[in-house]
Amino acid sequence: MVNPQLPEDVIIEILIRVPVKSIVKLRCVSRTWRDLIRSPIFIHRYQNRERKQSVLLVKRYTTRQYEDEAILSFHNPDFPELLVSPYLSIPVLNDLNLPTNIYSNVRIYGPCNGLVCIPVYNIIFLCNPALREFKPLPPPSITCPMGYRILAFEFGFGFDPNTGAYKVMQISEIREDFYEDFHRFDLYDSASDSWKHIDEELPKITSMPSFQTFFGGAIHWYAAKDNINDYPCILCFDIRTEAFQLLDFPDDFPKAEDLASLTVLNENLALIGFPLWREEPEPSQVIEIWVMKQYGVKESWTKQFVIGPYVVICPFLLLNDEWLLVESDNGQLGLCAHHENKFKGLPFYGFELSLSAVVYEESLISLNDIISSDCENG
């Protein structure tokens, strides 16, 4: 029972300082504790507390009990080699028995308020990793002419503070005889638990691992400003206004045939350019990190770091203004130092291009409170 001598406000002030994994256990103490912790007032206070616990969340594959298993692992961003919470299995992904190339395309999108989006084959899941909750979204209703096929290949996930709704963008290619024809944009809104089609002429989207980023209320993707010359740019979708805009790459950014990732550094967009890795006697990958000092202003792009050479398949994000989290050529998760040519391998591996990583703040927001459909727990 809650101590009657302590006012509820005092109890809340105590509990908002407790880690999420302990809060989850405290819900089982009594019905009074459960109702308090699940109340909107407590969840709001917990979400807006001053000292929040950041967690590095990694989606990877591991051999456990003689089988390859898809898992989410939880790490301290300051010491990513250490696990801070038990593994979270992704049963729906493991049960599908998909080929390796499908596994490689499964990525984490977000985070937003401690929630992430994980598209799995033809199903899109929202997930609260801290509460171990998975919830499938209804599929969008898409029809296309006879002889065409639909291939969903890119996604975006964001939160609209004006309506309190979570929104998911699915970008599909409509193809005829395996030739790309056009893109289709469909938007899910948790407030109505439904999809709508967005009919606009937009640049060609290219799916690049670890590029999609939710920042400043907008989702960002890699795109081609000129479909003929393939000039790269960033396509942005404002979650609140549901309007698109384009951001230019810096003029001196590496050439178009190279690769790019997008992340955030010191509350600014950061663009990471790196050449496609090729097996050579000597590694020659020099990684450039550009920062957009003023959002939307092309001239504000500044080359912040030039690091390497490294052998990198995909950079993910920047940790603590010192390390760049990457997937190396052998599928190992590793850290590249910003200020010196130093690589630190972490004891975690995946299939090639099967890793995905985000840093998020743990949340008590239950998927049952934002979506009405049945929940599947991991």
Could you write out the three-class secondary structure of the chain?
Answer: CCCCCCCHHHHHHHHCCCCHHHHHHHCCCCHHHHHHHHCHHHHHHHHCCCCCCEEEEEEEEEEECCEEEEEEEEEECCEEEEEEEEEEECHHHHHCCCCHHHHHCCCCEEEECCEEEEEECCEEEEEECCCCEEEECCCCCCCCCCCEEEEEEEEEEEEECCCCEEEEEEEEEEEECCEEEEEEEEEEECCCCEEEEECCCCCEECCCCCCCEEECCEEEEEEEEECCCCEEEEEEEECCCCCEEEEECCCCCCCCCCEEEEEEECCEEEEEEECCCCCCCCCCEEEEEEEECCCCCHHHEEEEEEEEEECEEEEEEEECCCEEEEEECCCEEEEEECCCCCEEEEEEECCCCCCEEEEEECCCCCHHHCCCCCCEEC
Nearest Cα to Cα of residue 219 among 278, 298, 266, 166: 166
Alpha-carbon distances of 325 from 101, 179, 376, rounded to whole Å: 22, 35, 31
Instruction: Examine the domain organization and report whether 70 and 20 are in the same domain.
Output: no
Whether 222 is in a domain gets the answer yes
Look at residue 282 and tell me if it is in a domain: no
Give the phi and the psi of residue 353 in degrees, each rounded to 5.
Answer: 60, 30
Q: Same domain, yes or no, for 72 and 32?
A: no
Domain membership of residue 219 as a residue range: 52-251+350-377
Verify that 175 and 239 share a domain, yes or no.
yes
Residues 15 and 79 in one domain: no
From residue 221, alpha-carbon distances to 15, 160, 171, 267, 325 in Å are 39, 18, 10, 18, 20
In terms of domains, do 36 and 60 share one? no
The pTM is what? 0.84
Predicted pLDDT of residue 239:
95
The pLDDT value given to residue 373: 44
State the total domains in the chain.
Answer: 2
Q: Are residues 30 and 157 in the same domain?
A: no
The residues that bridge with 285 in the sheet, in sequence order, are 310
User: Are residue 138 and residue 240 in the same domain, yes or no?
Assistant: yes
**pLDDT given for residue 115 in this prediction:** 94
Choose one of 51, 75, 90: the last residue of a domain: 51
CATH number at residue 198: 2.120.10
- In SS3 terms, 220-286 reads as EEEEEEECCCCEEEEEEEECCCCCEEEEECCCCCCCCCCEEEEEEECCEEEEEEECCCCCCCCCCEE
Same-domain pairing of 138 and 245: yes
Residue 366 inside a domain? The answer is: yes
Query: Within this chain, do residues 11 and 146 fall inside the same structural domain, yes or no?
Result: no
What is the reported pLDDT for 374?
40
In a domain, 345, yes or no: no
Radius of gyration of the chain (CA): 21
* Claim to verify: residue 151 and residue 119 sit in the same structural domain: yes
**pLDDT of the chain along its 378 residues, tens only?**
455 566 777 777 777 777 777 777 777 777 777 777 777 777 777 777 766 678 999 988 765 554 567 788 899 888 888 888 888 887 666 666 665 555 566 889 999 999 999 988 778 999 999 888 889 999 888 766 665 667 767 899 999 999 989 999 998 877 766 566 677 899 999 999 999 998 888 888 888 878 899 999 999 999 887 655 567 889 999 999 999 999 999 988 876 556 788 999 889 999 988 876 555 545 567 888 899 999 999 999 999 888 877 777 788 888 877 788 888 877 788 888 877 778 888 888 776 667 889 998 888 888 988 875 443 444
